[in-house]
A and B are shown apart, each in its own frame.
Chain A
Amino acid sequence: MKISLNWLKKFVRINVPDDELVRLIGARLVEVEGVIDESTKYNNIYVVRVATAERIPDTHLTLCQIDCGNVEVAGVEKNDEGLIQVVCGAPNVREGMLAAWIAPGAIVPASVHEDAPFVIGKRKMLSKYESNGMLAGADELDFGDDHSGITEIDPAMAKPGDLLADVFELCDLILDIENKSLTHRPDCFGMIGFAREVAGILGETFTETEYFQKTKAIYGSENSISVSIAGKDICSRYSAIVLTKHGEMKKKYLTYMDTILSKSGMRPVDAIVDVTNYLMLLTGQPLHAFDYDKFVAVGGSDKPKIIVRLARAGEKLELLDGKEITLLENDIVITSNDVPVALAGAMGGKNTEIDENTRNIIIESATFSLYNLRKTQMEHGIFSEAITRFTKGQPPYQTLDVAEDAAAMLSDGFKVTAVADEYPHPEKEITVKILVAEINQLLGTEYADKLIIQTLENVGFGVKNHRGELTISVPAWRKDIHIKEDIIEEIGRLLGYDNIQPTLPRHMTANKNKMMILKSDIRETMKEFGANEVLTYSFVSERLLKKAGLDANNSYKIVNSISPELQLVRQTIVPSLLEKAYVNQKMPIDKFALFEINKVYRKEWGMDGENVPVEKMQMGFVVAERKNNETAYYKAKKFAEELLLKFNIPVEFLPIKGKNADNLPFEEKRAAEIWSGEHYIGVVGEFKNSVKRNFKLAEFLAGFELDVDKILELLAPRKINNNFEIREKLDETVTTTGSYAEALAEMTKKYPNAEITPVGIYQPEDVKARNITFHIELMV
């Protein structure tokens, strides 16, 4: 939303410099995304009188002598009568009119924000007529798209030599407002509401100036329009006024309204649409104009019969922009005797569009369910200024007033002949009771009663004070105020949160989070081991799971994923690491070990006591080397064993029994389950050949997947061995066809009070048995 500071200043007395005002608006009302400086946009553009205008034969050009008052422009010569020569190509140029003259050296306003702004010069036309600058049209002045002629200025407003910027207050700053930060403030989507807030934050009382004329329109006798709302909660109020043409609308001069529409990011179009748009910018209440006669013809009734209802699935409607849409059951439609003529709040229909032949119009001023409109907006992709306002929940209190204002503004050419106002359940005034003490308590302030009351009254609240208990009546435009906290917010905000003194509450002793500490310890340990922690996405592709041999059906599936690459919630960590191993091996990095600790989910785990999916903390690890012919399994096992040893968890490596998501990528002949007593901790091993091939990884590759919740459950403080005096050291070799574990068990039996570590395993060629050498340290 764009806010012109000059327009704002028409409604509220501003006693601070502009930059301070912008800061205050940012600190106390709304996020200001940017400030567009238009203070020099209309430099060197003057109001001039066309003194003479002679058609140049056989061309569309007119040779003009213009009177620019006392203005002297460097390099521009005046003739004996003090006039300046300009050639003009517009058909509407004529003697005596006031026009806008862009002097040589000035920039065409419509181009100021372009990379190369267009500078007007002095030039020869048809090689003999000197032309100084140009007489400008609305498009060049950035007041619309009209290129049919030059802009004419009302002699009642200006005289030759006046700066155009002075006449129309064009030296301006435009605030670019972040709409999202006003989601709950429909009233601030109109200048009156915005200005009221600005008054509030400056500590001024806001008075609705006569600028917003509430002149009651005079109604005709033939009150012949009917409105009915078919459907609960779809439309809280629908006001309609019928206007009948009684004269030509004089749209001859550039108006202040045109400049406001342009500065607010809209475009002047025609007299009727401009009035509806202008009033929307002023009040926040969108209006729509129907061609009365088309409306009646479409419905086949003799008088307009407006029915507001939900659309029926499959109904079609051609919109003003020429697109035909298929309506959905959620859409609210305006119908003429049940035939859809507009998509409520979003866009009018082609079948009732006003045009140059329109004799009678219906002005609609209504409020619709923001929930329905929000869906309509999404489903049909309509993001107009009107629907932006409706989806904030415009209040119904002012619909008729604004429609009447439109009638008053169009009274040159139209008179009111009928009015209807369907408002089945008028809104009741809300009151909130609060103690001054409660306000100060929550904010941590010491604001006086008087200041609080004045602050609220400044922005339209009614306040009664009974010994510090305030009874506050909420104005009709504040749909967001219901409870005490809402009032506290008003006070905190309007008086400035920056004025609240930061303090510290009483201090307590915190409990440690054991899982956070464990993860931190794992991270530190793995770093010491030379491994690298990575973070990978929680979402993976079906392709990735397949490559790792996992079942995609065990993953929760995202229905609105960014891409198929991010569609499934991961079940384990290792597949994501394999993918990153490829990236790094390709770089190339010859050897590395990656790990990640994160949460995983599997459908088979079902729901927990809160009826949300069971989650587990797992750790994945992958070690990969490009130039190593040894057995990778033992490398991964070494990392796992050393890590678990750090947490004093004794483990055994047992054959894999049965398949689960943890072990699916692993080659069961070269992988093991890790157990501590009766507790399963995870799986370690080499990967299946197919997995290695699928991830395009070199031969030396292994990893593990651990249950970190289980590690937390089992971890024990390290016990210091008091028996550390060594009596004797010796090495002993066992020759066996059995497993290492069996050999170790035998050794342990033989030397019960000893520390036994492996030295090496040797297997002569063509011999089945292996020689396992142990180092034994016997304790005292």
Chain B
Amino acid sequence: MEELSELKLKLKNLNAEYARIREIAPEKRGEFGRELNAKKMAILEQIRLAEEAAMDVEVLPLDITAPCAANEKMPELYSCLMGSRHPLMVEMDRVVEIYQLMGFDVVESRQLDDEYHMFDSLNFAKEHPARDGYDTFRTEEGLIPPAHTSTMQHRVLKMYKDRLARGEDIAVVVPGRVYRNEDVNATHEHTFYQCEGVYVSESCTMGDMLGILREFFEKYYEQKLNIRTQPGYFPFTEPSLEFMIEKPKTLGGKKGDYLEMLGCGMIHPNVLKMAGIDPTKSHGFAWGGGIDRLVMLRYGLNDMRYFESGNLNFLREFK
């Protein structure tokens, strides 16, 4: 309390100092004002902290080991009817489970990474315009909240490359949260989820990649699907493709209504080499696509912004 009244006195004195501005030479008044303002801001901050501390002084301690307070009922959990899991997380689990049944291990993606994993290790040339396409955020240290789950590709390849020596294949999926510096609207979020897939073996083919992807989408949407591809460009795959499915009739699709679901391709030999895998002996494929879109299509949702809204009226729909 004493501290607070001292601070308030200080503030009063400081306010009085402003009057001195008339005695200061006009060209120095700006500097004078700035210094005074800085001091004032500092004191105001100290006052805020002191006031907050004062609010907490009166608080009574309690027995932290007890199950309840004296003369109160034993606390109870809420009814399970109120509970809900987040649809994105439930669906992410489903996605992962489908891949697990197909023989894929799971490694979760990081949420703060560096330029090396996000770009360099994926065969992006330094300063290449292709890096612009990802609209990445950066921290003061130059770290990157990843813009794609491919940020884990190099790590996964290194982590699993011993399998190749044992005559086994690498098959891993990487779910994770990714970030892009984008304006938010019904179909764009700066924060969303992706799932990456990586497969490396001595003999895998692009046909295998298309087969795995078709299998996945048919299991996820629980029906036969028409698939289509178109050429794409990613520095870390060669050849590169965009993978599309025809929107199923049961989900309101019309014939010829193709949706881009993910980017994919055969892993670029430079990416394998950088991870210590001999591209003349092994090759592989990789893909990555958004989970949010997948889920929106499944549930017929039309606005991505609900996912991170924390709105219980929305979330409690997902028991």
Q: Taking beta carbons and an 8 Å cutoff, which residues of A are in contact with B? A: 26-31, 180-185, 370-371, 374, 378, 391-392, 441-445, 483-486, 488-489, 492-493, 497-498, 500-513, 515-516, 519-520, 523-524, 526-539, 549, 556-562, 566, 569, 579-580, 583-584, 587, 589, 591-594, 598-599, 601, 610-613, 615, 630-631, 633-635, 637-639, 642, 652-655, 667, 669-672, 685, 688-690, 693, 739-742, 744, 758, 760-763, 770, 772
Q: Which residues of chain A come closer than 8 Å to B140, judged between CB atoms? A: 556-557, 559
How far, in angstroms, from A484 to B227 measured CA to CA in the complex?
27
New A-B pairs, 8, CB < 8 Å, besides A533-B85, A652-B65, A739-B65: A27-B231, A28-B231, A181-B231, A483-B269, A497-B230, A510-B171, A556-B112, A562-B181
Number of interface residues of B (CB under 8 A): 119
Q: A516-B96, A557-B139 are in contact. Are A653 and B207 (CB under 8 A)?
A: no
Q: List 8 A-B contacts (CB under 8 A).
A: A442-B205, A489-B238, A506-B169, A535-B88, A583-B310, A594-B310, A633-B69, A670-B64
Q: Are B181 and A535 in contact (CB under 8 A)?
A: no
In-complex Cβ contact of A762 among B60, B70, B99 (8 A): B70
> Taking the complex as formed, is B56 at the interface, i.e. its CB lies under 8 A from any CB of chain A?
yes
State whether A442 and B232 are in contact (beta carbons under 8 Å apart), knowing that A502-B214, A653-B65, A758-B74 are contacts in the complex: no
Interface centre among B78, B108, B241, B311 (most CB of A within 10 A): B78
B186 to chain A, nearest CB (A): 17
Instruction: Tell me, yes or no, whether B52 is within 8 Å of chain A by CB.
Output: yes
Q: How far is the CA of A610 from the CA of B116 in the complex (A)?
A: 11
Contact across chains for B89 and A535 when beta carbons are under 8 A apart:
yes
Known: A503-B205, A510-B104, A634-B68. A537 touches B74 (CB 8 A): no
If A612-B113, A688-B55 touch, does A630 touch B88 (CB 8 Å cutoff)? no
Query: A530-B78, A584-B310, A635-B75 given as contacts; is B205 within 8 A of A441 (CB)?
Result: yes
Contact B139 A559 (CB under 8 A): yes
Cβ of B233 within 8 Å of any chain A Cβ, yes or no, is yes
**Complex formed: what's the CA distance from A685 to B114 in Å?**
36
Chain B residues numbered 167-201 whose CB sits less than 8 Å from any CB in chain A: 168-169, 171, 175, 177, 179, 181, 183-184, 190-191, 199, 201
Q: Which residues of A contact B8 (CB under 8 A)?
A: none
B59 touches A485 (CB 8 A): no
Asked if B31 is at the interface (CB within 8 A of a chain A CB), the reply is no
Least CB separation from A568: chain B residue: B139
Q: How far is the CA of A500 from the CA of B233 in the complex (A)?
A: 19
Cross-chain contact of B106 among A485, A488, A513 (Cβ < 8 A)? A513
A532 and B84 within 8 A (CB): yes
- With A and B bound together, what is the CA distance between A672 and B130 in angstroms? 50
Shortest distance between the CB of A527 and any CB in chain B (Å): 4
Query: B143 in the interface, Cβ–Cβ < 8 Å?
Result: yes
B203 engages A441 (CB within 8 Å): yes
How far does the Cβ of B121 sit from chain A's closest Cβ, in whole Å? 11
Contact A530 B65 (CB under 8 A): no
Give every chain A residue within 8 A of B60 (Cβ-Cβ).
669-670
Closest-CB distance, B278 to chain A (whole angstroms): 14
A583 contacts B137, C-beta separation under 8 Å:
no
Our pick among B107, B171, B212, B316 for the contact of A513 (Cβ within 8 Å) is: B107
Asked if B63 contacts A503 (CB within 8 A), the reply is no
Indicate whether A690 sits within 8 Å of B56 (C-beta atoms), given known contacts A443-B205, A502-B210: yes
A interface: dominant SS: mixed
CB distance from B54 to the nearest CB of A (A): 9
Chain B residue contacts of A611, Cβ below 8 A: 114
Other-chain residue from B72, B83, B112, B269 in contact with A529 (beta carbon distance below 8 A)? B83
Q: Which B residues are in CB contact (< 8 Å) with A519?
A: 89
Interface presence of B215 (CB below 8 A): yes
Distance (Å) between the CB of B191 and the closest chain A CB? 5
Once the chains bind, are A538 and B71 in contact (CB under 8 Å)? Answer: no
B residues less than 8 Å from A587 (CB atoms): 312-313
B 69-105 to A, binary, CB cutoff 8 A, 1 in contact else 0: 1111111111111111110111001001001111111
A374-B129, A558-B139, A562-B181 known; A763+B68 contact, CB < 8 A: no
Q: Identify B138's interface contact among A504, A558, A599, A634, CB under 8 A.
A: A558
Docked complex Cα distance between A432 and B75 (Å) = 74
Contact A569 B112, beta carbon cutoff 8 Å: yes
- Assess whether B86 is in contact with A533, with CB atoms less than 8 Å apart: yes
CB-nearest residue of chain A relative to B52?
A690
CB-CB under 8 A from B100, the residues of chain A are 510, 512
Instruction: Determine if B310 and A669 form an interchain contact, defined as CB atoms under 8 angstroms apart.
Output: no
* Residue on A nearest B318 in the bound complex, by CB: A533
B219 in the interface, Cβ–Cβ < 8 Å?
Answer: no
**B215 A504 Cβ-Cβ under 8 A:** yes
**Chain B residues with CB below 8 A from A509, complex form:** 103
> With A513-B108, A529-B78 known to touch, is A442 a contact of B67 (CB < 8 Å)?
no
Chain A residues whose CB sits within 8 angstroms of the CB of B72 once the complex forms = 630-631, 634, 761
Which chain A positions have C-beta within 8 A of B106?
510, 512-513, 516
Is B111 interfacial (CB 8 A cutoff)?
A: yes
Tell me which residues across on chain B come within 8 A of A559, comparing CB atoms.
138-140
Chain B residue nearest to A516 in the complex (CB): B106
A27–B229 CB distance below 8 A? yes
- B66, B79, B137, B307: residue with the most chain A Cβ atoms closer than 10 Å: B66
Q: Which of A180, A485, A652 contacts B268 (CB 8 A)?
A: A485
Most B CB atoms within 10 A — which of A501, A532, A633?
A532
Pairwise interchain contact B233-A593, C-beta atoms closer than 8 A: no
Question: Are B62 and A566 in contact, CB atoms less than 8 angstroms apart?
Answer: no
Measured between beta carbons, the chain A residues less than 8 angstroms from B130 are 183-184
Q: Is A556's CB under 8 angstroms from B242's CB?
A: no
Q: Which residues of B contact A516 (CB under 8 A)?
A: 93, 96, 106, 108, 175
Question: Are B89 and A500 neighbours in the complex by a CB distance under 8 Å?
Answer: no
Contact B52 A688 (CB under 8 A): yes
Q: Which residues of B contact A739 (CB under 8 A)?
A: 63, 65-66
Q: How far is the CB of B275 from chain A (nearest CB, A)?
A: 13
CB pair B70–A613 under 8 Å, yes or no, is no
B26 at the interface (CB under 8 A from A): no
| Contact pick for B171, options A508, A527, A528, CB 8 Å | A508
Q: A99 → chain B, closest Cβ, in Å? A: 43
Q: Which residues of B contact A526 (CB under 8 A)?
A: 83, 85
The residues of B that contact A374 with a CB separation of less than 8 Å are 127, 129, 132
CB distance from B213 to the nearest CB of A (A): 8
A498 contact set on B, CB distance < 8 A: 228-229
Residue contact A488 to B266, C-beta cutoff 8 Å: yes
Given A442-B283, A527-B85, A761-B68: A532 in contact with B316 (beta carbons within 8 A): yes
Interface residues of B in 123-143 (CB under 8 A from A): 127-130, 132-133, 137-141, 143
B69's nearest neighbour on chain A, judged by CB, is A631
B315 at the A interface (CB under 8 A)? yes
Closest chain B CB from A587 CB (angstroms): 7
Q: Known: A566-B190, A669-B59, A761-B66. Contact between A505 and B108, CB under 8 A?
A: no
